[in-house]
Structure 1
Amino acid sequence: MSEFNQPLSGNEMPRFGGIASMFRLPVQLSAEGLDVAIVGVPLDCGTSNRAGSRYGPRQIRAESVLVRPYGMATKAAPFDSFQVADTGDVALNTYNLEKSIGIIESHFDGVLASGAKTLAMGGDHTITLPILRAQAKVHGPLAVVHVDAHADMNDHMFGESITHGTIFRRAIEEGLIDPTKMVQIGLRATGYAADDFDWARQRGVRVVSAEECWYKSLDPLMAEVREQIGSDHPVYLSFDIDGLDPSVAPGTGTPEPAGLMTSQSLEIIRGAFGTNLVGADLVEVSPPYDTSGNTALLAANLMFEMLCSFPGCQRRD
């Protein structure tokens, strides 16, 4: 009998039955006693194109019933390594983005005060800024691995300084991120000017375009990333599902062609193992554009891989 929470087995309750908590784990509204708290952040009023990611956490949970507790390739057993629970959703102000950002930051302040690491699911990418604010209070400036089609380094959008397309510029300006320990992977497509990507480069961020990733394994890249970041510096992993090609992840608000493949997304997340990962998020799943549920299913599997990449995750022989 494990000392840790275990997912409800599909051999005990059919996967189409039972409560649709994340990974079929127990629901615990407090993070007390947890090593990793899974938190839904159903915000989409920071998005600039197709809405719907407010429904992301609910749909990812529903599809997560197909995720089993053991990683066959990595031999990782996160639920034998950590006490993990689904801690529900942040209670947002659906009419006010600025107030919601404050609510999210305060919520994650509380989770981190309990000693738990955080695994968040959005929601649009705006959620990452208040999470980084909370994380930086505990850990100082963070190293960041950012997977995305977009740099999210805009100065303003429609006159607003905080949206899903401005968050990493704000985070660097606020000192939440050490830009010399930040890597952006999968950036591509069209922009408004070269500054869309160059502003980050000028501050020391490593920008890896999608074109640099085509037709190759990303294991060598992640070995370089681990060397750049080091094994001790606190790391945050932020994964926008639109970093992937729309052929494998169509259910998102701002899709871009010629993106990363599913296997490459696994290589990136698995490649974060060996760093001091303190938190992660998966954002921008929009169920109204995910008619098959495959985008949310992929998101659930990527979140499992994130769990497996936290320091101390047991690897079985």
Structure 2
Amino acid sequence: MTRRAVVKGVGHYLPARVVPNVELETLVDTTDEWIRTRSGIERRHFAAEGEGTADMAAHAARAALANAGLEAGDIDAIIVATATPDLTFPSSATMVQQRLGMTTGFAFDVQAVCAGFVYALANANALIISGQANRVLVIGAETFTRLLDWSDRATCVLFGDGAGALVLEGADGTGDSRDRGILATDLHSDGSYRDLLYVDGGTATGVTGHLKMEGREVFRHAVEKLAQTARTAVEKAGLEEADIDWVVPHQANIRIIQATAKKLDVPMEKVIVTVQDHGNTSAASIPLALSVGAADGRLQPGNLIVVEAIGGGLAWGAAAIRW
């Protein structure tokens, strides 16, 4: 028997405030057409004043628990992927633990920016396989709009806030690619690309800072690295690209999504796209898209799903999951 981390539930949360592209025309020198053409984004959600990353993460967690038919007390561990914690410490995960009323188990954050959710999945998978935990709540949550430079029209129009969550549970499988659950993960990073995508703040500067990005270079690296890591995850699972039922990518930019799908020889009809409604929600984008795809019936039990993401670091990775 092989231990697998199986998806038992999924859920998400989006702030109430919806910001269409036309509203941004009043804030920065841009147009709805410019944003749509270059990114595919039509609208995004902004967190309300006083609404934080841990608040949104807790909402998504409750939705995922309800979807799984579980309660907070059934969970052994919480992992929150975020680059925008409410506080330097404690971790957002422990804040979610408190909001859910959990007094047992353990909780911690993972920071790999937009790739954070894939990294968190890999960590949760390892905890379950090793026997350290049986049920793990994996959350991606971001208030990325609070890192934006509103005078930089190339970046400020791209991001939104939100949270998504999965409940993973240990189950015995046969050890082959027909098992349900996480079949394989593939993680990478290369710090030599730090200056392509970063925030110019932190303890070194004493300020929160703003996001800085070399868009063209990030695009070039994203397409190449996302296609390769997705392909590797599928190969590690003992499968081929033709076996993929759905690709659920990091929702950064429709052009990146389309170019990566083309490299994988996967038609866009098999790609779940939510960037038009959410913008780039960093570590929250994949679980948000998974939740949307599950809710509308596209993701079905037995489907082979590939998730892939790249973010600042650069850090990137993918996972092959049997839904």
Higher RCO (CA-CA < 8 Å; seq separation 6+): 2
Which structure shows the bigger proportion of residues in strand conformation?
Answer: 2
Which structure shows the bigger proportion of residues in helix conformation?
Answer: 2
What TM-score, normalized by structure 1, do the two folds share?
Answer: 0.32
